[in-house]
Amino acid sequence: MAIEVERVNDGTFQVTVQAGTTTIHKVTVAPEYHQRLTGGKVSEEELVKQSFAFLLEREPNTSILRQFDLPVIQSYFPEYEKTMKRQIG
């Protein structure tokens, strides 16, 4: 499985997930949210990539929303923010 993250513009990313089926997702990340989760330790692209890895441990790529703001993950998986903060350290 491969996760490819490409910046479209400030705060917007296209994510391609190659698994059994290839899916494309549009994800937005507000600078404040990026800072809150990472403390600036990793790029927005890396946060998006790690977020998709988190999602793919819990559901197939075909179940991931095609377009969403990154904080939406928290509403589906309450452990998301805590996990990201711990992983990024």
Look at residue 1 and tell me whether its pLDDT is greater than 90. no
For residues 54-78, give the mean pLDDT. Answer: 97
CA distance between the termini of the chain:
25
- pLDDT at position 89, please? 77
Cβ burial of 88 (10 Å; 0-12, 13-18, 19+) is middle
CA distance 32 to 15: 21
Instruction: Tell me what pLDDT residue 29 has.
Output: 98
pLDDT computed for residue 58 by the predictor:
97
Helix (H/G/I), strand (E/B), else coil: 58: coil
Task: Tell me the pLDDT tens digit for each residue of 7-59.
Answer: 999 999 999 999 889 999 999 999 999 999 999 999 999 999 999 999 999 99
Type of residue numbered 15: V
